[in-house]
Amino acid sequence: MAVNSPDRTRRSERSRTAILTATRELIAEVGYAKLTIEAIAARAGVGKQTIYRWWSSKGAVVFDSILALSEQTDGEVALPDTGDLAADLKTVLRATAAEFADPAFEAPIRALNMELIADPELAELYREKLEKPVTEAKKRRLRAAREAGQLAADTDLDLFLEFLYAPLTQRWLLRSGPLDDAFADALVDATLRAFP
């Protein structure tokens, strides 16, 4: 008994791209709370059914619209490695903090985070598809540092990264403080002190 699922080979790439782009634009323009499927369809020049055919929820569309964005840039991610771990991490964290200053970039990711908080399955998918490659790149840099004797051999790298990034993410999401270079540097210094 075949489930009546759509035929992926016949999917319109033109529509898919238009929907994803329209979604990102609309989040930046009107905000996530006022984002509607109808507006996405209208902006993309697409029937609503074409959205419902391929995505199960608004969250899923938002998710894919971010995913599509990062797939452009990616390929293989790599962190800088000058040999100076502290300096390299500061470079990365400063850059990350700076990105959040641009509303056109920030708004969709904020929207995505709200979806992830609301929907555990989507959050799991996010970790697998989007976060994992980035996390792996970060871990590669940390392992290099470990081999260079700059980190203890038994350092829990996942915990290290949670420590490094969670305060930044929290400040950004709740707007509870400035995301400046000083803060980025403080995060790196404290984290390196915590995991010597």
Partner DNA sequence: CAGTAATCGAGACGGTACGTCCTGTCTTGAT
Partner DNA sequence: ATCAAGACAGGACGTACCGTCTCGATTACTG
Binding site for DNA (CB under 7 A): 6-7, 9-12, 14-16, 18, 34, 36-39, 44-50, 52-54, 57-58
H helices of 100-156, in order, are 103-118, 120-126, 132-147
- Return the residue of 2, 120, 153, 154 that touches a second copy, per CB under 8 A: 120
For a second copy, the closer of residues 22 and 172 by Cβ is 172
Phi-psi region of 82 (alpha: psi -120 to 50; beta: other; left: phi over 0): alpha
d(CA 19, CA 9): 18
Site string for a second copy, 6-45 (x = CB under 8 A): -------------------------xxx------------
Q: Measured between alpha carbons, how far apart are the two ends of the chain, in Å?
A: 59
For a second copy, the closer of residues 8 and 193 by Cβ is 193
- Part of the chain binding a second copy (CB under 8 A), chosen from 7-15, 75-83, 84-92, 167-175: 167-175
For a second copy, the closer of residues 78 and 159 by Cβ is 159
Q: In 167-177, which positions are buried (b, 16+ CB within 10 angstroms) versus exposed (e)?
A: bbeebbeeeee
141, 81 Cβ separation under 8 angstroms: yes
Residue 10: C-alpha distances to residues 2, 7, 74, 192 (Å): 18, 6, 26, 51
- When asked if residue 169 is in the footprint of a second copy (CB under 8 A), the reply is yes
Q: How far is the CB of 17 from a second copy (least distance, A)?
A: 27
Residue 186 interaction partner, one of DNA, a second copy, none, beta carbon < 5-8 Å per kind: a second copy
18 contact partners, CB below 8 Å, separation of at least 6? 44, 45, 46
Q: How far is the CB of 132 from DNA (least distance, A)?
A: 28
- When asked if residue 116 is in the footprint of a second copy (CB under 8 A), the reply is yes
Binding site for a second copy (CB under 8 A): 31-33, 110, 113-114, 116-118, 120, 123-124, 127, 156, 158-159, 162-163, 166-167, 169-171, 173-177, 186, 190-191, 193-196
